[in-house]
Structure 1
């Protein structure tokens, strides 16, 4: 078996995974990446995810990859929906612990500590990502009413704040603490 990349005279077997910023919510919550375009010799790919308490890697799924989450520092909760058992599988992870999201399974990650760092490693050099935010805002209110008997106007109002892909949430300014209860309040465009 011949691998043209490994035979290249320009071969490099090292790269800096901090050079390419994939997404930045704020200085404490951001994602960098290392995939095939940045490092041709890599046969997988990964995100460096830096998050703080209360931040969620939004619900999503991958059409072409299985994802492994490795906690480097901090604590996170991973959840994945098993389409075969119709049950949610949730794991509380600390440094050195791992969870897996099979290809096509809906999942998310919630940060439970400040300054958490996780790696999400994929079994292919570049993942396809379908964000729940895009899916929700794209479903016509009439379809939700017909499929689930959800009031059309209630659904339209509920998804109105989702104007673009949400990657790390909640959006800044979304929560307001009222009498000890967290309430979602949309206060402007997503950052």
Structure 2
């Protein structure tokens, strides 16, 4: 196997502690550590994210322009949702410890934790995982373009998007001030909402979780 790495060099690296490279930290229960060739120079074409989430926290909608992503559940449970660009279906894949979901390169997707202490590894076939975030698309596209393109009220667009001042990554943000408090239900709408195109959750799982005052169901379809 040919490699440009000089394995006799004093700078060659074989081990790394992921907690030394925090990509994003919302709080102690919701954070992402990153490992790429920038931290471990012997990695070549592989990298990973070490993800920890608590119930109803979301790794925001995004896509990876340079890599396929394999999501492995270590503990807890998560629903991986993605849009199939060929069928225009929004698919939901609940996974629990020992299970994986594969997200092809360039596919729009997001993750919703359905249990506390959820721990995931996201593995990429690229030396550095690149991504384009939904929050960046929303905050960096001029509101007048959004309003004009989709026939929306520009003032309402500005008001709705004004709180998004930086990448979200794990949402909702700690400073979220929705009044009155909203139930953390994840509403989804398929590209085609006719009954024959609605895709049921995969597997025999019950992911409706009851909490004081509300229930959480990541599969609820908005009417």
TM-score where L is the length of structure 1:
0.88
What residue number does 1:88 align with? Answer: 90
Q: Distance in 2 between matches of 1:176 and 1:138?
A: 22
Say which structure is richer in strand. Answer: 1
**Among 114, 132, 135, the residue aligned to 2:137:** 135
CA RMSD of aligned residues (A): 1.9
Contact 1:75 1:95 in 2 (8 A): yes
Contact 1:60 1:131 in 2 (8 A): yes
Structure 2: give runs of 5+ residues left out of the alignment: 185-223
Any residues of structure 2 matched to 1:41-52 within 5 Å, and which? 41-43=42-44, 44-52=46-54
17-26 or 5-14: bigger deviation: 5-14
Instruction: After TM superposition, give the deviation of residue 18 of structure 1 in Å.
Output: 2.5
Any residues of structure 2 matched to 1:161-180 within 5 Å, and which? 161-174=163-176, 178=180
Q: Distance in 2 between matches of 1:13 and 1:148?
A: 51
What residue number does 1:148 align with? Answer: 150
Instruction: After TM superposition, give the deviation of residue 6 of structure 1 in Å.
Output: 5.7
Q: Distance in 1 between matches of 2:113 and 2:151?
A: 33
Q: Distance in 1 between matches of 2:115 and 2:6?
A: 40
**Among 79, 101, 104, the residue aligned to 1:102:** 104
Q: Number of matched residues?
A: 182
TM-score where L is the length of structure 2:
0.76
Query: What's the secondary structure of 1:38's corresponding residue?
Result: coil
What residue number does 1:122 align with? Answer: 124
Query: What's the secondary structure of 1:182's corresponding residue?
Result: coil
Q: Distance in 1 between matches of 2:154 and 2:179?
A: 28
Contact 1:56 1:108 in 2 (8 A): yes
Q: Distance in 1 between matches of 2:179 and 2:114?
A: 18
Any residues of structure 2 matched to 1:11-22 within 5 Å, and which? 11-22=12-23
Instruction: After TM superposition, give the deviation of residue 75 of structure 1 in Å.
Output: 0.4
